[in-house]
A and B are shown apart, each in its own frame.
Chain A
């Protein structure tokens, strides 16, 4: 995959996406009650690297999230995981699924 800094820049600027503090410990993935593969650590990493196709490939996981915040409560780096998932839903809805109307 080729890095593309414009994707994280855009999501940060318009949707407040911020996962830069992530230290890749994987607590979030281990704690997720749905146990969904790359979710959420690896997914956020795809965003930071700008791997758009990887983000799109995991649309189902992004929409399946319960927003229970088990991960966020336990994140040692204080990443606002649930907010980031909402931002990704808006982004996917508008640009991939033709759902949302607001600017992302």
Chain B
């Protein structure tokens, strides 16, 4: 493109006073980008009133310097050239707000993920690119305007999907905080997987009793309605004001108004394929099946009428699968090492001695559960380590089960174990929930579980505002962890619903009524149903329902009249950003 052909950049109304901060990220950026050169270049721009390099812009000191500069130099716009906006948009919006600057006058320029980390071999090129990215952000902020959040009222009720330990505990927790709860359970009976377990670690409580206790608590509360044999069939609306439809046991579809949804759909035990580690042979069972065999009993252990004198456990079945094949379960299921150690302790207390061999890969009885491993060792369990690329082999020989492995703790010696029972310690796998996933529009992670927004800082929130995760629907957990996650979703849910309103991001689409001729293309393109047809005077035009709009922008390119744009990403701003990125030094 030559100078003559280039269109003039859209004019800015008046000269702005923008502050530009370039973050070194402690070397993550400055090792590959000449941050001082970026600062010098940006400082020459007439709309930049302040430019500064910082070691860590997100630190207390960094944010303090930003606040100080905004106040002292009366800045009316802010750019921080640092990491991905996914990390720190809210951080720096907060700094702007504290300094008295409207948070939507802030733009984050990503010069780390999109620059320094990608071009570690080319300092000069990376520096040029950082200047362009920062200038684009400057062009964006220079055309920004102050925005206020969209406030909407919330319904004081919640929907909990799934009535296992996480769902039930969440329901009771929400009820206690004054939120009405509808619980929808697909199975005929509430209780989930926990209701199958007679004894669970660490303190030898009965899973069945825990579930019974929770169901009693549910029954006591007038503001909890439990639907079993029911399914969630649709969801409309937005955070604070969802309309969901539930198909009940009788086939009737009923609408419910809720402000938030807690998804507690749980897991399924991994089911070994026939022949996998001998599964299908008489005496080869899974850990949940072995738990049912152990039950609440105290007498000598029997299987199909025969005494059990030797038990061989094979760990990591359906977990930590390194093959990487389609649908392989590469993750650790967390509960199984502790649950098996606990089963071994109880097996050892069954009156007659039982010899127990544990074929493991790594013992992960983490945290307080280490003592279970120690107790299992002390009660005579022998642990043998197999390599992930050489799993044990299970065979039936002369009516007797025999397990063979190469024991890494005996210098790789081939060990043969004649045994009465082989217990396959199966991991947790995600539930088949395609229909529900479609209704909730929730993203699914590589492992097949529902994805949280942030693994550390936002562990129960999803990208769908107002939809939270509880328990193993999000990933493998033991009971204590499931309950902790359920209560975390309770506090997030109640925190929103009890306030009575929510403030939504104002970065939503807006229609230029004078340009709009209502062709309907925008409404068709919108996946959230956020655009409706209205009559204004003589004219039919499109109107955006701000609380339903996610600011995603599908409507923008389909409008032939250029009558719709997204606040914060206006045509003006986007064109100016492209020009800034394409400009030659």
Contact = CB atoms under 8 A, between A and B. Distances in A.
Interface of A: 1-3, 5, 8-9, 20-24, 38, 42, 45-46, 48-49
A42 B411 contact: yes
Given A5-B310, A20-B380, A21-B374, A42 B410 contact: yes
Contacts of B378: 20-21
B457 interface: no
Interface size class of B (residues with CB under 8 A): 20 to 34
B353 interface: yes
Contacts of A3: 357, 382, 415-418
Contact of B418 (A1, A2, A21): A2
B380 to A, nearest CB: 6
Interface string B376-389: 01111111100000
A1 B416 contact: yes
B415 A24 contact: no
22 contacts: A1-B416, A2-B416, A2-B417, A2-B418, A3-B357, A3-B417, A3-B418, A5-B355, A9-B353, A20-B377, A20-B379, A20-B380, A20-B382, A21-B374, A21-B378, A23-B377, A24-B409, A42-B410, A45-B409, A48-B382, A49-B384, A49-B410
B414 interface: yes
B413 interface: yes
A49 B415 contact: yes
B385 to A, nearest CB: 8
Contacts of A9: 353
A5 B417 CA distance: 10
A3 B410 CA distance: 12
Interface of B: 310, 353, 355, 357, 374, 377-384, 407, 409-411, 413-418
Contacts of B413: 1
Contacts of A48: 382
Nearest to A24: B409
Contacts of A8: 380
Nearest to B416: A2
Contacts of A5: 310, 355
B377 A21 contact: yes
Nearest to A23: B377
A48 B418 CA distance: 15
Given A20-B378, A20-B380, A48-B382, A1 B409 contact: no
Contacts of A24: 383, 409
A20 B355 CA distance: 13
Contacts of B381: 20
A38 B413 CA distance: 13
Nearest to A20: B377
A90 B381 CA distance: 25
Interface centre among B377, B409, B415 (most CB of A within 10 A): B409
B309 to A, nearest CB: 8
Closest 5 CB pairs of A and B: A5-B355, A2-B416, A24-B409, A3-B417, A48-B382
A1 B310 contact: no
